[in-house]
Every structure is written in structure tokens, then in C-alpha cells.
Amino acid sequence: MGRGGIRNKVNTMQKEIHPSFNPIKVSCSCGNSFETFSTLDHDLAIEVCSSCHPFYTGKQKLVDTERRVDGFMKKYGSFSKMAKKGKAEGQG
């Protein structure tokens, strides 16, 4: 089968079995809004978007609520100091 045969099969879709694809407005609680396409038939309200999510804005806060990092540094912090000292001696 030639390329034309495959291309024709890929581009043909059965009629009347696919949902309609409508433009909708998405509104975030931060005030940002944008338009997109969806199979929904109504506008969408979301709580977090790429304009206000900490991951995308770069204002991410790492909170160590159980002080695990401090405990780790108390227990193993001296090893990192020894490793740095060993590298400095090995280079000279």
C-alpha cells in the first residue's frame, strides 16, 4: 500500500460520533482569564493557573514543617565539611 492510501485512512473520521469542540473562557481566582477549546459547553472557573501557581512564578516556598533538613544537617553536616576539606587538600 502506498503512502497515499495510509494518508487517506488517517484523515477520514466517522461522522457524528465525536463531541463538539467549542471555544470556552477559563477564569482563574487570581483574575487571569484566557480562551481555549474544549468539549465542555460552558465556561470554566479554576482556582490556580500558570500565572499564580508558585511552580511557574518562581515564588515557590519550601517549608520544612518537621525540621527534617535541620536534623539531617546536624547529623551529617560534618561529613560535607570533611569532604570539602579533603578536596582542597587533594588539589594542592
- Helices (DSSP H) in the chain: which residue ranges? 3-11, 54-57, 68-91
Q: Are residues 48 and 70 in the same domain?
A: no
Q: Are residue 54 and residue 67 in the same domain, yes or no?
A: no
Q: Is the pLDDT of residue 41 over 60?
A: yes
pLDDT band at 70 (very low <50, low <70, confident <90, very high): confident
Q: The domain containing residue 86 runs over which residues? A: 62-92
Averaged over 8-27, what is the pLDDT? 82
**Residue-wise burial string across 53-72, b where 16 or more C-beta atoms lie within 10 A, e elsewhere:** eeeeeeeeeeeeeeeeeeee
Domains contained in the chain, number: 2
Question: In this structure, is residue 89 part of a structural domain?
Answer: yes
Q: Quick check: 2 pLDDT over 60?
A: no
pLDDT of residue 78: 76
Contact 25, 35 (CB under 8 A): yes
Is 1 domain-assigned? no
